[in-house]
Amino acid sequence: MVRKGHTGFVFKVALMGKILVTGAAGQIGTELVERLCSRYGRENIIATDLKFPHVPECEHGQMDVTSRDSVDEFFREHSIDSVYHLAAVLSARGEENPGRAFDVNANGTKNVLDASLRSGVKRVLIPSTIGVFGPQTPKRKVPVETVTRPVTMYGITKIFCELLGEYYFRKYRLDVRGLRLPGIISYKSPPGGGTTDYSIEMIVSAVKGKSYTCFLRSDTRLPMMYIPDAIESIIKLSEADGGKLIHRTDFNVSAFDFTPGELETELRKYFSGFSVEYRPDERQKIAETWPSTLDCRAAVDEWGFSPRFDMSRMVEDMVRNLSDQSSPAGKR
Ligand SMILES: NC(=O)c1ccc[n+]([C@@H]2O[C@H](COP(=O)([O-])OP(=O)(O)OC[C@H]3O[C@@H](n4cnc5c(N)ncnc54)[C@H](O)[C@@H]3O)[C@@H](O)[C@H]2O)c1
């Protein structure tokens, strides 16, 4: 198959089987599936999740990653070439139900890797997270190799997934890749219970003309990225020349960083009367264990990570899109 890349040049995609996405109904999965459909053809994409609030415009099905039998069956019944494994329970929700987070994130990932191995899948991409860092990790410009001793079940299971992916690569030559995403900001589908969700909630409140109560302190600085850059990064890493990768499953990526207070100030440029009250809850403790800024050099050097959106362009784009959605025409 010959396709035109978004940069304009023509490249070849050798697809024998299909591309499977797990967790496809989530915040990132919803937009990744759309992008994969436009890049590789919707007939080549299979979206799976527990349920779909919005039916994707490609083949889709139910697959619970915690059920080894149903994962094996799904892989047996479909000819799958590569996998984007997004099914997960995120940081804040994981602390509400650590057992479930362990089952989905750790056992689910092992089930998907084993099924991939058995059915000859060529590549598995698993997003990791800044949640793999912990209180002993330095705060600023954190490199890939650093102290990773997370204190949440989410972080513990995600660092396990990074290491498991590396293990399957070294031992079985299964091409597993991954990148540590920061807080992802998007407007098409709601966030799934992470500690950086406040940023989306704050922007949505401002656009709706409501005040916002923030669950983090106003000076809590965290790394972030806008969804178009997250999607392009995932695809770029997946298409990168494997021979040039020194790292595999743990690339740091982030486009900008800000505090809730700085986001509030940026939003006042559009909504002068917007106000935020700060009432930190247990999610503040999680945020305090994460770095404020990341060193993304490995991703830049090894596969050309190059985000396009800075914070102010992200806010401008979010405000425009959310305003369009809530206009009478957008509601039709
Ligand atoms: N959104 C972020 O800010 C962010 C940041 C860092 C990393 N990530 C990573 O990106 C990936 C996708 O995250 P997201 O934000 O889209 O999460 P999300 O919570 O929005 O979506 C996760 C999806 O997984 C599905 N799921 C849960 N349990 C499942 C199971 N047993 N079987 C099958 N599906 C199941 C859920 O139904 C949901 O649709 C995850 O690996 C996450 O760790 C996300």
Does the annotation count 154 as an active-site position? yes
- Going from the C-alpha of 190 to that of each of 65, 204, 318, the distances in angstroms are 21, 10, 13
Q: What is the pLDDT, as a whole number, of residue 4? A: 39
**What's the average model confidence in pLDDT over 46-61?**
96
Percent over 90 (pLDDT), the chain: 91
State whether the beta carbon of 86 lies less than 6 angstroms from ligand 1: yes
Give 192 Cα–ligand 1 centroid separation in angstroms: 7
**pLDDT digits over 123-176, tens only?**
999 999 999 999 999 999 999 999 999 999 999 999 999 999 999 999 999 999
Q: Could you tell me if the CB of 22 is within 6 A of ligand 1?
A: yes
What is residue 43's predicted lDDT score, i.e. its pLDDT? 97
Check residue 327 and give its pLDDT: 72
With a cut of 70, say whether residue 15 has pLDDT above it.
Answer: no
Helix H or strand E segment including 227: helix 227-239
Q: Residue 246: what are its φ and ψ, rounded to 5°?
A: -95, -45
**Probe residue for ligand 1, chosen from 30, 35, 46, 50 as the CB with the greatest number of ligand atoms within 8 Å:** 50
Q: Which of 40, 84, 154, 168 is catalytic?
A: 154
Q: Residues 255-312: pLDDT tens digits?
A: 999 999 999 999 999 999 999 999 999 999 999 999 999 999 999 999 999 999 999 9
Confidence category of residue 79, pLDDT binned at 50, 70, 90: very high
What is the band of 326 on the pLDDT scale with cuts at 50, 70, 90?
Answer: confident
pLDDT at 332 over 70: no
Pocket lining: 234 vs ligand 1, CB cutoff 6 Å: no
Model confidence at 75: pLDDT above 80: yes
Q: Which of 296, 307, 287, 299 is nearest to 131 (CA)?
A: 287
Give tens-digit pLDDT for 220-235: 999 999 999 999 999 9
242-257 in b/e form (b: 16+ CB < 10 A) is: eeebebbbbbbbbbbb
Q: Is the CB of 181 under 6 A from ligand 1?
A: yes
Torsion, CA 259, CA 312, CA 226, CA 276, rounded to 10: 40
pLDDT of 9 reads 37
Instruction: Give the pLDDT score at 328.
Output: 62
